[in-house]
């Protein structure tokens, strides 16, 4: 798959922290969206960090007008792994409006707690949080459990395309290569949806891809003191090969 990018904010960050966020204008953001939509066939949309409420509102209008039937995967990025808070209260409320256009929302535990108003400490609580987030309008919700404790990480998928709920469990990796896992997962789900996979299959394949990209034997040591990056091209270099 090939990703077409529209930027709403630019961050200054390294492996340890985010030090600054510069927000682009609403008009500049919309111009990027219009440019790619006017020239390319778009089969799926993935939404990550948004600069502020005006960007969320612009995106809601754009998706309804230009891409009404295209599945949108919304990753509600609110805080970085290093603790930088990206969205204030007004921005979170605007993001909730965007969730009404989402085919799938992919909050981590912190984001699911903030969106649902519930504390999550077990599977039953994750399901209840997903039900509350579904009430905001997305067709489906994937509550990611990577930040929970335990020997395995469990994600819960619930919604129209998984009416009974589906749990995805994978053993934890003993690795520092975790920078970008959430962004990568939601992008991989969108890619598989674009290829025509049903949602549960798209999530399952995306999780398998991310799990392999975190393999410590494929460590990309860039010299930073924080979490290392995923190896997104592990398949290209050969499955199971030590890089």
State the DSSP H helix or E strand holding residue 12, giving kind and residue range, or none if neither: strand 9-13
Q: Please identify which of the residues 145, 159, 181, 184 carries the catalytic annotation.
A: 181
In terms of phi and psi (left: phi > 0; alpha: psi -120 to 50; beta: otherwise), the region of 150 is left
Does residue 144 have an active-site annotation? yes
Q: Please identify which of the residues 96, 137, 175, 183 carries the catalytic annotation.
A: 183
Pick from 58, 55, 48, 56: nearest CA to 5: 48
Does residue 175 have an active-site annotation? no
Does residue 11 have an active-site annotation? no
How many angstroms separate the CA atoms of 223 and 149, rounded? 28
Q: Please identify which of the residues 52, 178, 184, 228 carries the catalytic annotation.
A: 178
Does residue 178 have an active-site annotation? yes
- Give the pair of three-digit tokens for residue 127: 């399901």
Does residue 69 have an active-site annotation? no
Q: Please identify which of the residues 48, 97, 165, 180 carries the catalytic annotation.
A: 180
Pairing of strands 104-105, 140-143: parallel
Q: Please identify which of the residues 46, 182, 207, 228 carries the catalytic annotation.
A: 182
Does residue 5 have an active-site annotation? no
* Contact by Cβ (8 Å): 22, 55: no
Q: Please identify which of the residues 51, 144, 145, 184 carries the catalytic annotation.
A: 144
Active site residues: 144, 178, 180-183
């Amino acid at each position: 798959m090939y990703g077409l990018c529209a930027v709403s904010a630019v961050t200054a960050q390294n492996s340890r922290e985010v030090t600054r966020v510069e927000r682009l204008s609403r008009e500049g953001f919309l111009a990027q969206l219009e440019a790619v939509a006017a020239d390319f066939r778009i089969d799926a949309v993935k939404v990550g960090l948004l600069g502020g409420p005006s960007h969320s509102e612009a995106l809601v209008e754009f998706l309804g007008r230009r891409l009404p039937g295209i599945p949108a995967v919304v990753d509600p990025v609110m805080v970085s792994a290093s603790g930088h808070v990206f969205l204030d209260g007004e921005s979170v409320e605007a993001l909730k409006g965007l969730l009404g256009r989402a085919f799938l929302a992919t909050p981590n535990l912190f984001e699911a707690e903030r969106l649902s108003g519930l504390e999550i400490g077990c599977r039953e609580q994750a399901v209840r949080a997903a039900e509350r987030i579904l009430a905001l309008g997305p067709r489906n919700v994937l509550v990611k459990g990577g930040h929970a404790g335990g020997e395995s990480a469990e994600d819960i998928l619930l919604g129209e395309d998984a009416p009974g709920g589906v749990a995805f469990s994978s053993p934890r990796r003993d690795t520092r290569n975790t920078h970008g896992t959430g962004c990568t997962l939601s992008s991989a789900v969108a890619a598989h949806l674009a290829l025509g996979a049903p949602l549960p299959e798209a999530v399952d394949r995306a999780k398998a891809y991310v799990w392999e990209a975190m393999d410590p034997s494929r460590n990309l040591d860039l010299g930073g003191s924080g979490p290392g990056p995923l190896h997104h091209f592990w398949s290209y270099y050969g499955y199971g090969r030590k890089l």
